[in-house]
């Protein structure tokens, strides 16, 4: 091999250094590229994180705003079967905060409602609610909830405290399932009665609301002896209006001088006993179908415990039947 001189060896060393430097530069470029890729990935992560934080912040704000917007109302929103009981509704007589009114019993309602004009009499107790709360019916009708109040509701001889809502309904008051379940009411649709705590309260259909009394007619021709008292067999003029009633004195001229005892009667009985007193010195003749008494529906019947525990007593219907027989 030819000998290399000092110049050649020096150049070889320079080339080796150059190649080494180029290799280092290439490695540095690759390292910088890797760093740039990492920086780019980091920037993307930061961008995604910022978007997520922004979305979460917006979602929290929206959720907060939505919660603030939501009305404080019963679960699923206020709901009733109808704004009016119309012809199929059943009512009971009672009072709310001392205001006498007819109450529609609606087991399809999840709130108890009072009509707006009646609630205006209780302004100091009324709690106004947000204007975006609406009452929905099963038929799709809607009406605005005006407010709410903690009311004293009286049914029969009992008094209950319950939160009710105020709305533009047609009936004075609607007793909802919330009230009926809370105070353990039992509704008997077959007998048109409602029970609570041993107390029976009659229910009236809407068609009876404007007819608060009915007449009792003589079942057969009867003679009332002069200056004497007796029981007369009667029948209701219009059966089925209501079940329990109290007999009263009719205002017919033909019955002048004859008094009628106020008695609790069951109008579903085959014969209605009517106790009368003839004050005249002559006998009184009653033909079949003559009006012998009027009767008005009772508001409630309280089932009281026996006063004498040692004796077994007949129930009122049994007593009535025994007297008539």
Q: Which residue has the higher pLDDT, 255 or 186?
A: 186
Alpha helix stretches (DSSP H) within the chain? 6-69, 116-119, 177-182, 316-324
Q: Return d(Cα 218, Cα 222) in angstroms, integer.
A: 8
Q: What is the pLDDT of residues 74-106, one digit of tens each?
A: 445 676 666 555 556 888 888 998 888 888 998
pTM listed for this prediction: 0.45
Alpha helix stretches (DSSP H) within 155-279? 177-182
Give me the chain's average pLDDT, please. Answer: 76
Q: Which residue has the higher pLDDT, 140 or 110?
A: 110
Collect all residues with Cβ–Cβ distance below 8 Å to 197 and sequence separation of at least 6.
Answer: 158, 184
Q: Are 250 and 291 in contact (CB under 8 A)?
A: yes
For residues 23-39, average pLDDT: 80
Give the residue carrying structure tokens 């040692």.
310
Percent residues over pLDDT 70 in the chain: 69
Q: Which residue has the higher pLDDT, 15 or 265?
A: 265
For residues 163-186, average pLDDT: 90
The pLDDT, as a whole number, for residue 276 is 93
The pLDDT, as a whole number, for residue 231 is 94
Q: Return d(Cα 184, Cα 199) in angstroms, integer.
A: 12
- The CB density around residue 19, as the number of other CB atoms within 10 Å, is 10
Collect all residues with Cβ–Cβ distance below 8 Å to 76 and sequence separation of at least 6.
Answer: 110
Q: Return d(Cα 42, Cα 48) in angstroms, integer.
A: 10
The encoded tokens of residue 103 equal 């109450």
Q: Return d(Cα 81, Cα 137) in angstroms, integer.
A: 5
Q: Which residue has the higher pLDDT, 254 or 275?
A: 275
The pLDDT, as a whole number, for residue 295 is 85
Bridge partners of residue 166, in order along the sequence: 114, 147
Domains observed in the chain: 86-205 (2.40.70.10), 214-302 (2.70.40.10)
């Amino acid at each position: 091999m030819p000998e290399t001189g000092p110049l050649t060896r020096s150049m070889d060393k320079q080339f080796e250094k150059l190649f080494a430097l180029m290799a280092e530069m290439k490695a540095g470029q690759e390292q910088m590229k890797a760093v740039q890729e990492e920086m780019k990935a980091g920037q993307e992560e930061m961008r995604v994180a910022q978007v997520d934080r922004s979305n979460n912040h917006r979602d929290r704000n929206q959720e907060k705003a939505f919660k603030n917007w939501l009305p404080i109302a019963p679960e699923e929103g206020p709901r009733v079967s109808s704004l009016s009981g119309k012809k199929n509704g059943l009512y009971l007589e009672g009072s709310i905060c001392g205001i006498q009114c007819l109450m529609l019993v609606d087991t399809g309602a999840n709130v108890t409602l009072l009509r707006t004009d009646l609630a205006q009499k209780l302004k100091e107790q009324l709690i106004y609610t947000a204007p975006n709360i609406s009452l929905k019916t099963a038929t799709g009708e809607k009406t605005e909830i005006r407010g709410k109040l903690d009311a004293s509701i009286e049914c029969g001889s009992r008094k209950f405290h319950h939160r009710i809502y105020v709305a533009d309904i047609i009936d004075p008051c609607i007793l909802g399932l919330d009230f009926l379940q809370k105070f353990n009411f039992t509704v008997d649709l077959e007998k048109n009665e409602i029970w609570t705590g041993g107390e029976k309260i009659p229910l009236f259909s809407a068609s009876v609301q404007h007819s608060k009394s009915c007449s009792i007619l003589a079942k057969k021709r009867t003679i009332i002896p002069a200056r004497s008292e007796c029981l007369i067999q009667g029948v209701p003029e219009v059966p089925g209006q209501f079940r329990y009633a109290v007999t009263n004195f009719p205002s017919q001229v033909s019955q002048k001088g004859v008094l009628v005892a106020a008695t609790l009667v069951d109008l579903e009985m085959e014969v209605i006993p009517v106790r009368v007193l003839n004050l005249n010195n002559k006998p009184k003749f009653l033909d079949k179908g003559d009006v012998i008494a009027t009767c008005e529906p009772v508001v409630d019947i309280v089932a009281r415990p026996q006063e004498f525990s040692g004796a077994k007593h007949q129930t009122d219907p049994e007593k009535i039947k025994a007297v008539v027989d």
